Structure 1
Amino acid sequence: MSDLHYKELLQIAFSTEAEAAYYLTDAEKAAYTTFIKASGAERPFRFERVRLGVAMALMKMLADLGDHEESRHVLDLLHRALGARSAAEIDKIITRDAKLFERLFTNLYVNEDGEQVLHLFERTLDADTQPAMDEVIEDALAVAQELDFTREEEDED
């Protein structure tokens, strides 16, 4: 079930064909399935790819909610990390630009919806087991389905 939820979350976050084509390869869309099938030394790396997918989806939603530049920078960093070939390489890429996370959390004013998404992002970073990640995915999917991405456009009218 969580594989289906993972794919649904990606589809909601990257809702246009252009966004999906830019951010999500077939491998990223299948990351959860690949994680489930992985064994041994490959499993931690595959888990990190799922984490990156969930984190990217959340940053995309946060960016869409408030057209927030810092969340777009973090989204781009996470996207670059997808090119890594190991969990250690992912850590190296993320660590090199860790200041982007600091800016995200210090320069951010968000509404209640944005706070929910940011809290889920933190939980994604903290999740270290499949059940914990499954819970984050399910909660993120529930929040994503309730978000109103048109509110800012309506406010401008």
Structure 2
Amino acid sequence: MSATLFQQLLHAAFRQDLSTAVASADLHAYQDLERAAPREQGFRFERLRLLVAMSLMRALADLGDHDESRQVQQVLQRALTARSIEQIDATITKEAKHFERLYTDLYVNEEGEQLLHLFERTLDADTMPAMDAVIQEAAELVDELDFDAPHEDDED
């Protein structure tokens, strides 16, 4: 069930850009984790975490036209190309400034706050049950978002 929710989250967050933003193999990251040998599970879990975090950042960026969220999404996307947990960590550490700027001068509405909260929970999740809970909540929230609503700047 969570594999299906994971795919729903990706589809809802990336919508028409899914095929260009996410490699087709990454659509099966949840199943890859479930089938991974014990020595590969840590790496597969990190890839799943990156994809969930990317989805949340994409939704936040699209919801409020937030450039810092796009930059964090791009860092996460670069980290997704890593071949080991160490390479993922190195990519994230090298680009830490983007994560620090994510919360600077950020005005978000209630939905944006929920996305940021789920993003934080994604980064903190260290078990599959915790990640499954985030995926479920994220899939439900992103599916309900109105990306076509006018942004605050658009109303002027």
Which TM-score tier does this pair reach, normalised by the shorter chain? over 0.9
Say whether the 8 Å CA contact 2:64–2:151 is kept in structure 1: no
Instruction: Name the amino acid aligned to 2:9.
Output: L
Q: Distance in 1 between matches of 2:11 and 2:36?
A: 23
Structure 1, residues 70-129: CA drift from partner, whole Å, max 9, x if none?
000001000111110011110110011111111002231111110000100000000000
Instruction: For 1:1-157, list aligned pairs within 5 A.
Output: 1-16=1-16, 19-152=17-150, 156=155
Say whether the 8 Å CA contact 1:65–1:152 is kept in structure 2: no
Say whether the 8 Å CA contact 1:12–1:144 is kept in structure 2: yes
5+ residue gaps, structure 2: none
How far off is 1:153 after superposition? 5.9
Say whether the 8 Å CA contact 1:81–1:90 is kept in structure 2: yes
Of 19-28 and 38-47, deviating more is: 19-28
SS at match of 2:121: helix
Runs of 4+ residues deviating >6 angstroms = none
Superposition CA RMSD, Å? 1.4
Structure 1, residues 18-37: CA drift from partner, whole Å, max 9, x if none?
x2122111221010000000
Q: Distance in 1 between matches of 2:22 and 2:144?
A: 23
- With structure 1 as the length reference, what TM-score do the two structures score? 0.94
Q: Distance in 2 between matches of 1:107 and 1:132?
A: 30
5+ residue gaps, structure 1: none
